[in-house]
Amino acid sequence: MIGGGFSGLMTAIHALRGAPHASAVVFERLPRARPGVAYGGADEAHLLNVRADRMGLTTSDVGGFAAWLDRRAPGRHEPSDFVRRRHFGDFLNERLGAMIASLRPRITLVRGDVVAVRRDADDFAMRLAGGETTRAAAVVLAVGLPAPSAPWSGDVGLVVDPWSPTAFDDLDASAPVTVVGTGLTALDVLVSLARRGHRGRVTCVSRNGRFPLPHADPHRSSAGAAAPPTVTPQRAELMRGPLAALRAVRVAAIAALACGRPWQEVIDAIRPHTTAVWSAWSDRDRERFLGRIRPLWEIHRHRAPRSVLAVVDDLRASDRLEVLRGTLLRVDASAGRRAVLLRCAGNETLRRSSDRVFNCIGPALRISENPDSLMRSLFDQGMVSSDAAGLGLRADADGCVIDARGAVRRDLFVLGALRRGDLWESTAVPELRVQAEATGAALARLLTDATHPMGAHA
């Protein structure tokens, strides 16, 4: 199991429960207090972007996290609240810890970076960064997307990991800072700055210059409960292509608002259809969506709690926030105080003083943009293949990888963000728990098959 976040650990647990004689080793390269990047590096003030009552670990216990919260602090949280992200990390530690303990010694957690995988006659050989090699009967890839590649990625003063515990060390409260990106990670940085009493000017730069939109006001939603139900666009309309889908969603959102319902309900209502719609679109449709509509979709789909966006409002009210459409060219420290050079809309070049630069542009859009050594080893051997847009790895419904010849490999699995080329929606807990159950069940079937050469690890 390569990757020890939510997806990797839950898949291992499901597999071992279904294959009582198998064992698994889970490799995780990042040292985190809690599973997963977003939970393991969460600041005290970072909030979930999904309601508490939708964050359960399994499809049979969707409300498990909300129930856990209520037992820990009765009456403090509503099921619809966006609670502190570290609470979910603590929930993962407790629940996953208990599950893992019940499966020992059949499951082993290892801090290590798998840099290459080779398929031999009967099993796999996995090489770690330190040179060690371990063998496995089957391999699961749950490593997430590659880091972005940018010409300024090695510049002095750049914070590559905004969730690192040292990201804000020694930052003067009045110092100007630059945030590259305006998505959810950028909001995390703004929240962390505010919590630390930062008073300096903040420059945010991104290609679209837009922050995520807010989640629906739960009080307003409940007040409109007597209004007619939100009209959801028909799946057939959405399947006709991205432009037709955009028109259908817009019409439905306008109708919802006219009836006193929040537009956010329309976006949430089409979420169960996203994979079917994405699968129905042609390669040309997908490229059109990625090039023209994706930024608009992202800010509507990946929304933020209103209390988080209030930090942006406070910065604007105090005239300390500058939001630019453009890109970062480089970080310049040659003139003494550090500065950034920005290329903005209209090809205008701007220079801004900046004591720290936070990289919040997110992972690479296409896995070919910055493949790590593990991905290169898999592609070089033809063990995996990418979708036409290059967003991720191709796989069947159970997560079994499709190789370069188009054959389904029953002993090599992928789940999580690397499946977005096939599924598009493949990063949030509601989707990941479904994948973990399906992949875990398929892996268990493989490891209990009498004809399969059982290895020591999965």
For residue range 38-96, what is the model confidence (pLDDT) as tens digits? 666 668 889 999 999 999 999 999 999 999 999 999 999 999 999 999 999 899 999 99
Q: How many CB atoms lie within 10 A of CB 363?
A: 15
C-alpha 290 chain-centroid distance: 17
Overall average pLDDT of the 350-354 stretch: 92
- Say if residue 219's pLDDT is above 80: no
Model confidence band, residue 454 (pLDDT cutoffs 50, 70, 90): very low
For residue range 396-432, what is the model confidence (pLDDT) as tens digits? 999 999 999 999 999 999 999 999 999 999 988 999 9
For residue range 241-263, what is the model confidence (pLDDT) as tens digits? 999 999 999 999 999 999 889 99
Task: Give the Cα separation of 286 and 278 in Å (integer).
Answer: 8
Please answer whether residues 256 and 262 qualify as being in contact, where contact means their C-beta atoms are separated by less than 8 angstroms: yes
pLDDT value at position 371? 74
For residue range 203-212, what is the model confidence (pLDDT) as tens digits? 999 999 999 9
- Report the b/e string of 191-227 with b at 16+ CB within 10 A: bbbbeeebebbbbbbbeeeebbbbbbebeebeebeee
Task: Give the Cα separation of 230 and 29 in Å (integer).
Answer: 44
For residue range 165-181, what is the model confidence (pLDDT) as tens digits? 889 999 999 999 999 99
pLDDT value at position 37? 61
pLDDT value at position 153? 58
pLDDT value at position 336? 58
Overall average pLDDT of the 122-134 stretch: 93
Domains of the chain: 6-46+84-147+364-448 (3.50.50.60), 158-212+304-359 (3.50.50.60), 218-286 (no CATH)
For residue range 141-173, what is the model confidence (pLDDT) as tens digits? 999 887 776 666 556 678 888 888 889 999 999
- Say if residue 222's pLDDT is above 60: no
Model confidence band, residue 227 (pLDDT cutoffs 50, 70, 90): low
Overall average pLDDT of the 296-324 stretch: 96
Model confidence band, residue 455 (pLDDT cutoffs 50, 70, 90): very low
pLDDT value at position 451? 52
pLDDT value at position 458? 45
- Say if residue 36's pLDDT is above 50: yes
Q: What is the 3-state secondary structure (H, E, C) of the chain?
A: CECCCHHHHHHHHHHHHHCCCCCEEEEECCCCCCCCHHHHCCCCCCECCCCHHHCCCCCCCCCHHHHHHHHHCCCCCCCCCCCEHHHHHHHHHHHHHHHHHHHCCCEEEEECCEEEEEECCCCEEEEECCCCEEEECCEEECCCCCCCCCCCCCCCCEECCCCCCCCCCCCCCCCCEEEECCCHHHHHHHHHHHHCCCCCCEEEEECCCCCCCECCCHHHHHHCCCCCCCCCCCHHHHCCCHHHHHHHHHHHHHHHHHCCCCCHHHHHHHHHHHHHHHHHCCHHHHHHHHHHHHHHHHHHHCCECHHHHHHHHHHHHCCCEEEEEEEEEEEECCCCCCEEEEEEHHHEEEEEECCEEEECCCCCCCCCCCCCHHHHHHHHCCCCCECCCCCCECECCCCEEECCCCCEEEEEEECHHHHHHHHCCCCCHHHHHHHHHHHHHHHHHHHHCCCCCCCCCC
- Say if residue 366's pLDDT is above 70: yes
- Say if residue 450's pLDDT is above 90: no
The model's pTM: 0.89
Please answer whether residues 257 and 263 qualify as being in contact, where contact means their C-beta atoms are separated by less than 8 angstroms: yes
Overall average pLDDT of the 225-239 stretch: 78
Q: Which two tokens stand for residue 247?
A: 């028109």
Q: Which residue has better confidence, 223 or 144?
A: 144
- The average confidence (pLDDT) of the chain is 90
Q: Which two tokens stand for residue 267?
A: 């976006």
Task: Give the Cα separation of 373 and 116 in Å (integer).
Answer: 6
- Say if residue 223's pLDDT is above 60: no
Give the residue carrying structure tokens 């391999």.
139
- Say if residue 7's pLDDT is above 50: yes
pLDDT value at position 456? 39
- Say if residue 97's pLDDT is above 70: yes
Give the residue carrying structure tokens 């389904």.
408
For residue range 319-342, what is the model confidence (pLDDT) as tens digits? 999 999 999 988 887 655 688 889
What is the percent of the chain where pLDDT is above 90?
74
